[in-house]
């Protein structure tokens, strides 16, 4: 085994598009090869996140897991509290809750507006944290009013809340009120910029940097060649471009008009029109894509600017099973001891 240069936690994200047993199989595989966190996305047009997580929990023993991420526009935070608390009853101490303002492209499909996202996320975190702590919650907020909400079953362990963030104000809020920050970024330039605002949130809350799990939530695609990895990642990068704040697009010199056209095409399911504008610059900005050697180099850059969890997000690679094993065999040895030697 190569020298371990960094010790870092690794998470993996699955999008439950496939049949439930495939997602469960990949979850088992991810745990066996040494991933620390399992994140499953929550979009209305895929399979239900909590059903997917519950099934995966029954076939795993160690890996921590949760929605990555849910949002309070589609699901009331009181219902999210109920869901993660129920999961925590199934797998005590292993459940985390990923929460964010949601993907505006997907929300637009349901004609939902991301109204006052900072206030909405702040109040949602309070509701979820209080209810999952077993307390009775009375709250008069600007977004949510809660009158005596309480779960009718006991919570045995606290549920950490990770906040998905990309823009400056949301990053600062996430560091201030979250137990973890899921930085929606794959490029070291974006993560380095994010750390400035995370630092402000930490200071505002009177925390220490070590109090926070800071995760780079990347779009990841690894394969034996760049071209194979590229083909898999293009659709995901299109969604990321479509949902990115203007300030992030400008940092990577991507025109807002192009992002708007991609978003419009995705909403109307015009896939060729949505994916064809994705170029090499967008892939470099919004993904970790390429051979294992390339991916290792990009992970090193992220770690150097301060993250302590790398989330290998969708698509993982052109062949899920092979790409997960490739991460274990050719990426993990640079950063951590492999917990599970078995390959499946």
Q: pLDDT tens, 196-238?
A: 999 999 999 999 999 999 999 999 999 999 999 999 999 999 9
pLDDT bucket at 8, cuts 50 / 70 / 90: confident
Q: CA end-to-end span of the chain, whole Å?
A: 20
pLDDT value for 114: 93
Residue 342 resides in a domain? no
pTM of the model: 0.92
pLDDT value for 341: 44
Residue 2 resides in a domain? no
334 within 8 A of 2, measured Cβ to Cβ = yes
CA 343 centroid distance within chain: 25
Residue 293 resides in a domain? yes
CA 29 centroid distance within chain: 19
Q: Would you tell me how many other CB atoms lie within 10 Å of the CB of residue 284?
A: 16
Domain extent, residue 134, equals 9-334
Give the total number of structural domains in the chain: 1
The C-alpha atoms of residue 126 and residue 194 are separated, in whole angstroms, by 23
Q: What is the pLDDT of residues 254-304, one digit of tens each?
A: 999 999 999 999 999 999 999 999 999 999 999 999 999 999 999 999 999
Residue 3 resides in a domain? no
The C-alpha atoms of residue 70 and residue 51 are separated, in whole angstroms, by 14
CATH code of the domain covering residue 266: 3.20.20.30
Residue 339 resides in a domain? no
The C-alpha atoms of residue 119 and residue 131 are separated, in whole angstroms, by 18
CA 292 centroid distance within chain: 21
Residue 246 resides in a domain? yes
Residue 1 resides in a domain? no
């Amino acid at each position: 085994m190569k020298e371990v240069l960094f010790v870092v936690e690794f998470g993996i994200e699955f999008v439950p598009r496939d049949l439930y047993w495939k997602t469960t199989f990949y979850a088992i595989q991810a745990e066996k090869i040494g991933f620390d966190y399992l994140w499953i996305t929550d979009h209305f047009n895929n399979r239900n996140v909590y059903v997917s997580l519950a099934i995966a929990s029954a076939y795993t023993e160690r890996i921590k897991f949760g929605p990555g991420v849910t949002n309070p526009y589609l699901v009331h935070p009181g219902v999210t509290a109920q869901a993660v608390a129920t999961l925590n009853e199934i797998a005590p101490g292993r459940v985390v809750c990923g929460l964010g303002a949601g993907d505006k492209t997907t929300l637009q499909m349901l004609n939902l507006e991301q109204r006052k996202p900072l206030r909405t996320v702040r109040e949602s975190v309070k509701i979820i944290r209080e209810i999952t702590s077993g307390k009775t919650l009375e709250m008069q907020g600007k977004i949510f009013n809660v009158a005596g909400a309480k779960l009718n079953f006991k919570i045995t362990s606290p549920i950490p809340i990770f906040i998905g963030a990309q823009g400056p104000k949301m990053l600062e809020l996430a560091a201030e009120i979250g137990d973890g920050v899921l930085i929606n970024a794959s490029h070291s330039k974006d993560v380095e910029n994010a750390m400035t605002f995370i630092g402000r949130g930490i200071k505002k809350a009177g925390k220490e940097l070590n109090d926070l799990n800071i995760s780079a939530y990347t779009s990841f695609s690894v394969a034996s060649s760049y071209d194979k990895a590229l083909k898999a990642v293009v659709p995901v990068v299109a969604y990321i471009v479509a949902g990115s704040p203007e300030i992030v697009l400008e940092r990577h010199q991507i025109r807002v008009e192009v992002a708007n056209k991609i978003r419009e095409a995705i909403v109307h399911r015009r896939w060729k029109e949505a994916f064809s504008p994705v170029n090499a610059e967008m892939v470099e900005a919004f993904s970790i894509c390429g051979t294992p050697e390339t991916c290792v180099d990009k992970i090193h850059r992220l770690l150097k600017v301060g993250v302590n969890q790398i989330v290998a997000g969708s698509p993982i690679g052109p062949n899920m099973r092979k790409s997960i094993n490739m991460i274990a065999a050719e990426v993990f040895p640079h950063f951590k001891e492999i917990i599970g030697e078995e390959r499946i």
